[in-house]
Amino acid sequence: MSLRTLEDLGDLAGKRVVVRCDLNVPLKDGRITDDGRVRASLGTLNTLVNAGARVIVISHLGRPDGSPAPEYSLAPVAQRLSELLGKEVTFVGETVGDEAAAAAEALGDGDVLLLENLRFNPEETSKDASERQAFAERIAALGDAFVSDGFGVVHRKQASVYELAAALPSAAGSLIESELTVLERLTKDPQRPYTVVLGGSKVSDKLGVIEHLLPQVDTLCIGGGMLFTFLAAQGHGVAKSLLEQDQLDTVRAYLSKADELGVTIDLPTDVVVASGFAADAQHETVAADAIESSSFGTDGIGLDIGPETATRFASAVSGSKTVFWNGPMGVFEFPAFAAGTKTVAQALTEVDGLGVVGGGDSAAAVRSLGFSDDRFGHISTGGGASLEFLEGKSLPGLEALGWSR
């Protein structure tokens, strides 16, 4: 079966269309610090507005545990969405109820309404399918059709992602279409050389991806906090660096499997070690197999890949035809430990082929380091969803729209 798209819904002029976006943006003091996900939703929303649909946007923000929490209100998002769409977006402080119903009923052709955080309602994420179903039906009562365009949540079986797609005539928006197109290019006969760069905190977060991609890639570069588990698996001391002791055998098995497959697992040869986890910590670059010989001894903590490693990773990236990158190379939030991430990001802008930033912290990193989205082949809006796709897992939100592997 193939994915249902907007064209399958026919003429939407005058119809109320519920659109599930992923507007889960970072907020600080009530202000959006990265509006990437809001901007990513504009393609579908503008298409619907221009078609004369009456648009009802729904989304989650954060994890408010099923009850209203002012710090997780979508009100700041409504303001930003108004600015980006160039038209007023009405905001209602509930997802379902009399006020939401009245606002939906009052919409004119091309108007846009944003409802309050879905996760203020415990039924949205309930483990009980009947509770999710009942909530989905209440949302469905507001509209005539449903467009799913929150790629970052398609791996979740939640009311607004899964049950709602069956409660109304439904289709995927253009964002989900484009994400799926890119991910299929990464998994179905990708152009070679094919390099995957993995970072972030934990090996355990990436186990499925490593397992699934090892037979498909030419080079796998390992950075971020997870690199220390790889170094420890090779018998090197890592001082107080992040270490998952229970994953050592798994990592050794990956190293062995890579040898059998002829795949290069490129591990850091130098590391930036600090006196502690702080932006102003003292730090120095040491060989990856000599972390405990730094000035800080066994109290040192690795916070970034070293310049030699960054240069080598960058060479592998820029010389590849297909690259997928997920997870920063170090603690990029601290300027002293952002160099590895910045070097890899720069190399990704130079790929003569498909270079993909795999969402989540990676997307936040490239933007915070001053890179504009258009310098990359693709910036995914769904870190977890992208990883689960690459792991070969079932994605309920896509299957609800007719898609299958």
Annotated active-site positions, please? 37, 202, 360, 384
Beta bridge partners of residue 27, listed in sequence order: 32
The CB density around residue 246, as the number of other CB atoms within 10 Å, is 10
* Start-end of H helices in 128-247: 129-140, 164-167, 174-187, 207-213, 227-233
E-assigned strand segments in 34-124: 54-58, 89-92, 112-115
**Sign of the four-CA dihedral 80, 81, 84, 88:** negative
* Start-end of H helices in 174-216: 174-187, 207-213
Angle between helix 339-348 and helix 307-318 axes, rounded to 10 deg: 10
Beta bridge partners of residue 16, listed in sequence order: 54
Both tokens of residue 319?
């010389």
Is 50 labeled as ligand-binding?
no
Is 302 labeled as ligand-binding?
yes
Is 22 labeled as ligand-binding?
yes
How far, in Å, are 20, 58, 161, 174, 328 from residue 41 at the CA level?
Answer: 10, 12, 16, 9, 24
Is 62 labeled as ligand-binding?
yes
Residue for token pair 């997307």 = 363
| Chain centroid, CA 207 distance in Å | 17
Under a CB-based contact definition with an 8 Å cutoff, are residues 17 and 56 in contact? yes
Is 359 labeled as ligand-binding?
yes
**Sign of the four-CA dihedral 242, 61, 126, 208:** negative
Task: Report the alpha-carbon distance of residue 221 to residue 288 in Å, rounded.
Answer: 14
Under a CB-based contact definition with an 8 Å cutoff, are residues 325 and 356 in contact? yes
* Most distant pair of Cα atoms in the chain: their distance: 70
Is 138 labeled as ligand-binding?
no
Is 246 labeled as ligand-binding?
no
Task: Report the alpha-carbon distance of residue 4 to residue 6 in Å, rounded.
Answer: 7
Is 321 labeled as ligand-binding?
no
Is 398 labeled as ligand-binding?
no
How far, in Å, are 51, 78, 123 from residue 83 at the CA level?
Answer: 20, 9, 31
Is 61 labeled as ligand-binding?
yes
Q: Which residues are annotated as a binding site?
A: 22-24, 37, 60-63, 119, 156, 206, 302, 333, 359-362
Q: Which residues are annotated as a binding site for ATP?
A: 206, 302, 333, 359-362
Q: Which residues are annotated as a binding site for substrate?
A: 22-24, 37, 60-63, 119, 156
